[in-house]
Amino acid sequence: MRTVYLDNNATTAVAPEVVEAIEAYFTAEYFNPSSAYDRAAPAAQAIKRARDTVARFLGGVDPSEILFTSCATESVNTALYGAVRANPARRHIVTTAVEHPAVYEVCKDLARSGLDVTFLPVDRAGNLDLRTFIQALRPDTLIAAVMHANNETGAIFPVEQLARITKETDPAILFLTDATQTAGKLPLDLRGAMRHVDLLAFSGHKLHAPKGVGALFARRGTAMRPFMLGGHQEGGRRAGTENVPYIAGLARAVELAQEDHDAVEARIRRLRDRLEAGLLACIPCVEVNSQGAPRIPNTCNLSVHFIEGEGILYQLNEHGICASSGSACTSGSLEPSHVLRAMQVPFTALHGSVRLSLGRYNTDQDVDRALEVFPRIVANLRRLSPYWDQAHERPRPEAEAMMRQSGK
Amino acid sequence: MAWEYSEKTKQIFMDAVHGKPGTHMGEIEQPDGIGEHGSIACGDALRFTFRVRRHPTDPLQDVITEARYLTFGCTSAIASSEALCTLIEQGAFTPIGALGVTNRDIVEYLGGLPDQKIHCSVMGAEALEAAVFNWAQKRGVDLLALGIDMHTEEKEEGRLVCQCFGLTEPYLKRKIRELGLKTITEITGAIKAGGACMSCHHKPGGLQDLLNEVWGPQPLTLKLLPGPPEPREAAGTDRSVPSPYQFSKQVEKVLDQYVRPMLARDGGGVEIVDIKDTAVYCRLIGACAGCGGAGMTMKLMVERTLKEMVDDRIRIITV
């Protein structure tokens, strides 16, 4: 059975070009880039080249402003804990209620250790309110951490504008953005529109590099204590022998993302839009989360009323289709996605969310397959649901009342 | 996360969703017993109905001939419902006899369930109990006189321990005893209590205290950190800024008198989004909004005017 991979927000296939670019550093060029002898020079040069490439990718920043890490989660941990420890006088953090756990959980941990954290609410479409953001900034605010695009819904926050407002309010407030879902998709121009952003994190494996490599942009002059100690690497800001092959792979991946960006994006957007429109057209009582917000072009997060997401995923799996869900039963916790709850998705649809996220290797055939299978799966589960009248393809009257009420 | 379901659970689930012959999806019309458990807000819900062959004189000799379910829930919730109906039909039980079918029987029938999915089997057993209670009411059987206590009152009464799933102290204590639950993790796996906000784990009168009451104090091997604080919504009125009502009035007055009339000539205007100390957050509207000279307008006209007329510390921040 052919695999239809619609979970590109979770990870992506490593591009063949990337595999090719990194191979030598597993074999002939295995040396430690910190070593003094000539044989280690190619490894050291690979890191330097990669740093230059990533610096160009981020709008031509200075290469010394790039730190290589093991993943975006490490980048975010480095930025948040590092900033907190370097700025003991400021004890307040502004973030949003819909951040990825890499930010959300660190902020909750910092709150437990005595910092004051403001989690900004979002509206029904997943948008932030500018006024609420402005009001949250305080004289003792240390950092504002706002993701670029949401990993579950794809909703884009105007971080360029938020960073500017933050800096104009108080230049000492740091601005961190988690760009894991936008690197390679949206422009990250840290010398242009994003020039007010101090810290930006992303990982390689969301843009066809291997898992296990990430980067942190830290603008020169940003006060930050190192998160990992034990070596002089990365200018003493991130100890540990560099992962030479993966760093080389990350660089190749960002090049690749730029090379044919517009054509790839146009194709992904067209596939996503076709998939979304197709599903909306043939499944009743389904909504697209964050449809009313600017979104990255690859993500479609659906909430299907009156059924549970895990049962959908399980059946998709039986058809070789890979997707993910924000339902409680797939999360390991008993609570559905904090993102959808923050958006006040009606409880009749909260457990029935499915995220379909496309990538550069998806085809029209993949979309056809999903359109063929998905509606049947929904019908299968609705037939079993105590809230659904499958004969008439509509919710039972009491369930419909519930849906209307919870949607308010 | 790969699925940790037994082959049998997967098979039963797939048969159920495809409506294979011999599966039990559905709802019996005018059933002899109906029981429900769970809710859509909690993430799973089951409506269980059965029909009996009525004994002409003695309701206690009624025999269950048909059992059906409708379930909102995950793979294991649906498989558990299917298992429940199969077990009940195969046993040809009297309704009272059916009470002997427990969640453990369901788990066993499914070839095991992952720990965190045990609650799916408990949901089946609870719906069965509720349906038998309903049958007893319809048939005029006095369960209490038979020595069967359905504990119907305890869910409504008693102190609420788990707010998220609405579970009370008497219910929790009974389930801890009945199901032999020894840790908070086991409680959450079996009946979901403590599985959402987790604030009831270690607070006074919380789940650990109930475990200690039922089983005696346990040696503490791992002390969990206190639960994370609930995300706090940013307050509409920020306490850190002493709202300078007069100041904002003055700003508005100056804008009205001097700035807005000038902008209006070009078909535009300016709107205050917020004022914080001496920082005035505003945006140009109308024709001014898209104008290439918007930045200059803000700086030269709006900011300068406000500096002169209100306070020279004023800064304009464009939103």
Contact A381, B17 (CB under 8 A): yes
Q: Does residue B20 have a pLDDT over 90?
A: yes
Interchain contact, A384 vs B315, CB within 8 Å: no
Cα separations (Å) of B234 from A120, B197, B245? 6, 20, 20
- Within this chain, do residues A249 and A296 fall inside the same structural domain, yes or no? no
Query: How many A×B Cβ pairs under 8 Å?
Result: 156
Look up the CATH architecture of domain B7-146: Alpha-Beta Complex (3.90)
Nearest-angstrom CA–CA distance, B245 and B231: 29
Q: Is B12 exposed, middle or buried (0-12, 13-18, 19+ CB in 10 A)?
A: buried
Q: Does residue A281 have a pLDDT over 80?
A: yes
Closest to A85 in 3D by CA, of A116, A110, A105: A110
Q: Does residue B2 have a pLDDT over 70?
A: no
Cα separations (Å) of B47 from A340, B28, B85, B255? 27, 10, 11, 63
- Within this chain, do residues A233 and A350 fall inside the same structural domain, yes or no? no
A5 in a domain, yes or no?
Answer: no
Interface predicted TM-score (ipTM) of this complex, two decimals: 0.83
Which phi and psi angles does B233 have, rounded to 5°? -75, 140
- Within this chain, do residues A331 and A300 fall inside the same structural domain, yes or no? yes
Residue A139 is nearest to which of B117, B240, B317, comparing CB atoms?
B240
**How far apart are the CA of B41 and the nearest CA of chain A, in angstroms?**
5
A42-72 burial: b if 16+ Cβ within 10 Å, else e: ebbebbeebbebbbebbbebeeebbbbbbbb
- Within this chain, do residues A21 and A110 fall inside the same structural domain, yes or no? yes
Interchain contact, A333 vs B196, CB within 8 Å: yes
Q: Could you tell me which CATH class the domain B245-318 is placed in?
A: alpha beta
Q: What is the pLDDT of residues A189-224, one digit of tens each?
A: 999 999 999 999 999 999 999 999 999 999 999 999
Side-chain half-sphere CA neighbours of A337 within 13 A: 31
Residues of chain B with Cβ-Cβ distance to A386 below 8 Å are: 27, 36, 45-47, 70-72
Q: What is the pLDDT of residues A327-350, one digit of tens each?
A: 777 666 678 899 999 999 998 899
The number of folded domains in chain A is 2
Compare B248 and A253 and report the one with higher pLDDT: A253
- Within this chain, do residues A221 and A285 fall inside the same structural domain, yes or no? no
- Within this chain, do residues A68 and A52 fall inside the same structural domain, yes or no? yes
Site of tokens 């969990």: B224
Site of tokens 């370097």: A86
Q: Write out residues 53-92 of A within 8 Å (CB-CB) of B.
A: none
* Crossing angle of helices A244-259 and A261-282, rounded to 10°: 80
- Spatial CB neighbours of B249, under 8 Å, sequence gap ≥ 6: none
Nearest-angstrom CA–CA distance, A396 and B27: 13
Instruction: Return the sign of the alpha-carbon dihedral for residues B211, B215, B216, B221.
Output: negative
pLDDT of residue B1: 53
Quote the mean pLDDT of chain B: 86
Nearest-angstrom CA–CA distance, B28 and B70: 10
Question: CB of A325 within 8 Å of any CB in chain B?
Answer: no
Pairing state of beta strands B279-286 and B315-318? parallel
Interchain contact, B73 vs A308, CB within 8 Å: yes
Residues of chain A with Cβ-Cβ distance to B44 below 8 Å are: 308, 329, 351
Interchain contact, B234 vs A120, CB within 8 Å: yes
Nearest-angstrom CA–CA distance, B46 and B44: 7
Interchain contact, A318 vs B192, CB within 8 Å: no
Q: What is the pLDDT of residues B22-35, one digit of tens each?
A: 999 999 999 999 99
The letter for the amino acid at A336 is P
Q: Is A136 exposed, middle or buried (0-12, 13-18, 19+ CB in 10 A)?
A: buried
The CATH number linked to A124 is: 3.40.640.10
What letter would DSSP give residue B25?
B
Contact A242, A47 (CB under 8 A): yes
Q: Write out residues 90-149 of A within 8 Å (CB-CB) of B.
A: 97, 108-109, 111-112, 117-121, 130-132, 134-139
A23 in a domain, yes or no?
Answer: yes
Question: CB of B15 within 8 Å of any CB in chain A?
Answer: no
Active-site annotation holder among B42, B162, B200, B282: B42
Q: Is B179 exposed, middle or buried (0-12, 13-18, 19+ CB in 10 A)?
A: buried
- Determine the structural domain holding residue A399 and report its residue range: 261-406
**pTM of the model as a whole:** 0.84
Enumerate the domain spans of chain B: 7-146, 160-215, 245-318
Residue B229 is nearest to which of A111, A308, A380, comparing CB atoms?
A111
Interchain contact, A386 vs B238, CB within 8 Å: no
Nearest-angstrom CA–CA distance, A51 and A35: 18
Look up the CATH architecture of domain B160-215: Orthogonal Bundle (1.10)
Residues of chain B with Cβ-Cβ distance to A119 below 8 Å are: 231-234
Instruction: Return the sign of the alpha-carbon dihedral for residues A61, A66, A72, A73.
Output: negative
**How far apart are the CA of A146 and the nearest CA of chain B, in angstroms?**
15
Q: Write out residues 237-256 of B within 8 Å (CB-CB) of A.
A: 238, 240-241
Nearest-angstrom CA–CA distance, A129 and A121: 8
Mean pLDDT in residue range A383-392: 92
Q: What is the pLDDT of residues A154-185, one digit of tens each?
A: 999 999 999 999 999 999 999 999 999 999 99
The CATH number linked to A345 is: 3.90.1150.10
**How far apart are the CA of B111 and the nearest CA of chain A, in angstroms?**
18
Nearest residue of B to residue A316 by CA position?
B14
Interchain contact, B276 vs A111, CB within 8 Å: no
Residue B45 is nearest to which of A139, A314, A386, comparing CB atoms?
A386
Residues of chain A with Cβ-Cβ distance to B244 below 8 Å are: none
Token duo for residue A116 = 């004051």
Q: Can you spell out the DSSP letters for A263-309? A: HHHHHHHHHHHHHHHHHHHHSSSEEETTTTS-B-TTEEEEEETTS-H
